[in-house]
């Protein structure tokens, strides 16, 4: 194995961008597949120095997965639920805006001079791009989660001369940053690692599916969760917030959130299926949604925040003291339950075993050797094999075929949702729950 090409050939590239950030020959670019997953590709200028292999989180040469006694949980110092106190940030945030409020605090206190974030950009269809913000006022356009892939770490090429950099990233991005820092002095200026919880990212073609429901010629921007206090005269609560496509002309198209939820399984890659690090163990501070937790404002939305390092812990305390965020402490056990950590252990083990038995090119990676639960049934494994095969079959379809297939899945889901919402069905279900021993 002389470079990371075999990682992509094995469908295990997570699009983090760490290899591209460190390659001395600029020999790596990204190829987008039918489903809109990105795979790192190596060209002829590669000199086989193998540095990319050393920083790839799918290979994990630095053995990050063995650092904590429980790699699914890592170390958690303090957990909070709360929000940004600046209404402008809170209103446009994915959850409670704590992530953007933290970056703004870092800029305003001269603790960073650059932040690597991402934004939705208009093109023929909207695409996500990483960018380097150099001041607090460049951060607002980065707000909200982009559920499709983005190779954030490539942007580190632009921050070499910066004094102190913050990176916001998914767990695979933050593992990539951690490996880059351990591998080369060049990346020691990354001082703050702000992580998001991540269940999975989805292929970019999902955006084409959503756009196929509009007849607009003008390119638009997608917001995956348009929580709002009043938009177009309508109130969108956080939990059921719809998708919004917004256009420069001021026009908005609003689609129900089932357009994303119905397609999650179809667009989930093999790499995400075997990812143990949902809770972003190498971050200083982690941000997410307080799913399954009590005392949450489920109407307007709040952030789940937890600190992992002394640096992150002090930063969050300072932010609370200064009134930048308003937070109440939260229960760590409740957090782990709400994020379904034990279910993750199981599904990662099942999918690692399923991936092993598929006739695919393999790479030398720990990802195949994950066996965190021992009682995997044949049925569980078979279903995982079928899901993986389904993904690979879909990768061979054209974009038009994928859009057609996705629209059929959406239709079926909407019919099922309608049926489930029927009054009689709801009553029958309630009775069943009551008589269940
Ligand atoms: C792909 C994905 C999956 C997620 N899965 C879960 C989950 O299963 N459970 C859960 O509790 N939370 C999950 N989250 C986190 C959640 O959606 C919010 O991002 C988090 O609560 C922070 O909200 P906020 O209001 O504080 O952030 P905001 O103030 O809205 O700021 C958002 C920040 O996220 C960054 N960002 C957005 N999209 C991406 C991306 N694709 N890659 C890297 N950085 C990005 C932006 O640059 C910005 O800095 C996920 C996020 C993403 C992007
Ligand atoms: S082996 Fe070296 S030159 Fe080749 S792609 Fe990897 S980092 Fe670049
Ligand atoms: S370093 Fe990241 S982008 Fe490069 S091959 Fe590995 S997972 Fe893919
Ligand atoms: S599930 Fe893991 S590999 Fe997939 S995008 Fe999230 S952090 Fe990256």
Over the stretch 231-248, which tens digit does the pLDDT of each residue have?
666 778 888 899 999 888
3-state secondary structure of 48: coil
Give the three-state DSSP class for 137: helix
Mutate to test the pocket of ligand 3, among 17, 27, 170 (most ligand atoms within 8 A of CB): 17
Asked whether residue 223 is assigned to any structural domain, the reply reads no
Q: Which of 286, 311, 336 is the last residue of a domain?
A: 336
Element (H, E) at 183: helix 171-183
Domain boundary (336, 357, 379) is at 336
DSSP lists the bridge partners of residue 83 as: 326
Tell me which of 320, 336, 352 is where a domain ends: 336
Task: Specify the ligand 1 atom closest to the Cα of 103.
Answer: 49
Q: Distance between CA atoms of 187 and 181, rounded to whole angstroms?
A: 5
Q: Is 372 domain-assigned?
A: no
For residue 129, being part of any structural domain is answered with yes
Domain assignment of residue 83, given as a range: 78-203+264-336
332 with 79: CB under 8 angstroms?
yes
Q: Which of 126, 15, 11 is nearest to 396 (CA)?
A: 11
Q: In which band, very low, low, confident or very high, does the pLDDT at 227 lie, cut at 50, 70 and 90?
A: confident
Residue 366 placed within a domain: no
Ligand 4 centroid to Cα of residue 436, in Å, is: 38
CA of 43 to the centre of ligand 2 (A): 9
* Ligand 4 closest atom vs CA 14: 3
Quick: pLDDT tens for 43-79: 999 999 999 999 999 999 999 999 999 999 999 999 9
Q: Find out whether 257 and 193 touch, Cβ atoms under 8 Å.
A: no
137 neighbors 113 (Cβ within 8 angstroms): no
Task: List, chain by chain if needed, residues with CB within 6 Å of any ligand 1 atom.
Answer: 93-100, 117-118, 142-147, 150, 152, 168-170, 173, 196-199, 201, 287-289, 291, 303-304
For residue 283, give the CATH number of its domain. Answer: 3.40.640
DSSP 430: H
Position in ligand 3 atom list of the atom nearest CA 14:
7
**431 pLDDT more than 90:** no
Q: What is the mean pLDDT of the chain?
A: 94
Q: Is ligand 4 within 6 A of the CB of residue 56? A: no
- Residue 295 resides in a domain: yes
pTM check: above 0.85: yes
The CA angle 155-161-163, to the nearest 5 degrees, is 100
pLDDT at 418: 83
């Amino acid at each position: 194995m002389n470079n990371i090409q075999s990682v992509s050939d094995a469908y295990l590239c997570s699009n983090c961008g760490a290899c591209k950030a460190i390659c001395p020959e600029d020999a790596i670019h990204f190829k987008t597949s039918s489903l809109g997953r990105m795979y790192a590709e190596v060209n002829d200028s590669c000199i086989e120095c193998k540095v990319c292999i050393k920083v790839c989180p799918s290979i994990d040469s630095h053995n990050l997965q063995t650092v904590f006694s429980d790699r699914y949980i890592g170390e958690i110092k303090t957990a909070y639920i709360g929000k940004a106190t600046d209404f402008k940030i809170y209103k446009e945030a994915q959850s409670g805006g704590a992530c953007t409020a933290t970056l703004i605090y870092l800029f305003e206190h001269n603790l960073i001079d650059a932040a690597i974030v991402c934004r939705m950009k208009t093109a023929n269809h909207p695409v996500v791009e990483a960018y380097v913000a150099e001041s607090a006022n460049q951060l607002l356009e980065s707000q909200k989660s982009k559920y499709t892939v983005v190779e954030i770490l490539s942007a580190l090429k632009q921050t070499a001369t910066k004094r102190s950099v913050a990176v916001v990233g998914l767990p695979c991005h933050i593992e990539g940053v951690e490996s880059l820092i351990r591998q080369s002095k060049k990346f020691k200026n990354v001082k703050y690692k702000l992580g998001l919880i991540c269940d999975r990212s989805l292929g970019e073609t999902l955006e084409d599916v959503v756009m196929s429901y509009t007849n607009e010629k003008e390119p638009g921007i997608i917001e995956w969760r348009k929580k709002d206090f009043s938009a177009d005269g309508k109130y969108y609560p956080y939990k059921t917030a719809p998708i919004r496509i917004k256009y420069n002309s001021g026009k908005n198209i609003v689609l129900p959130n089932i357009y994303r939820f119905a397609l999650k399984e179809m667009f989930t890659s093999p790499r995400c299926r075997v990812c143990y690090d949902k809770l972003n163990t190498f971050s200083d501070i982690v941000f997410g949604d307080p799913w399954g937790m009590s005392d949450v404002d489920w109407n307007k939305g709040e952030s789940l925040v937890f600190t992992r390092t002394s640096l992150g812990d002090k930063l969050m305390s300072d932010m609370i003291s200064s009134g930048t965020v308003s937070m109440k402490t939260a229960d760590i056990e409740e957090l782990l339950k709400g994020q379904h950590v034990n279910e993750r252990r199981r599904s990662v083990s099942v999918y690692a075993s399923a991936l092993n038995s598929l006739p695919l090119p393999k790479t030398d990676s720990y990802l195949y050797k994950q066996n965190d639960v021992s009682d995997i049934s044949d049925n569980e494994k078979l279903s995982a094999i079928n899901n993986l095969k389904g993904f690979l079959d879909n990768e061979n379809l054209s974009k038009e075929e994928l859009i057609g297939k996705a629209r059929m899945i959406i239709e079926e889901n909407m019919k099922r949702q309608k049926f489930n919402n029927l009054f009689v069905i709801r009553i029958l279900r309630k009775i069943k729950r009551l008589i269940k021993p």
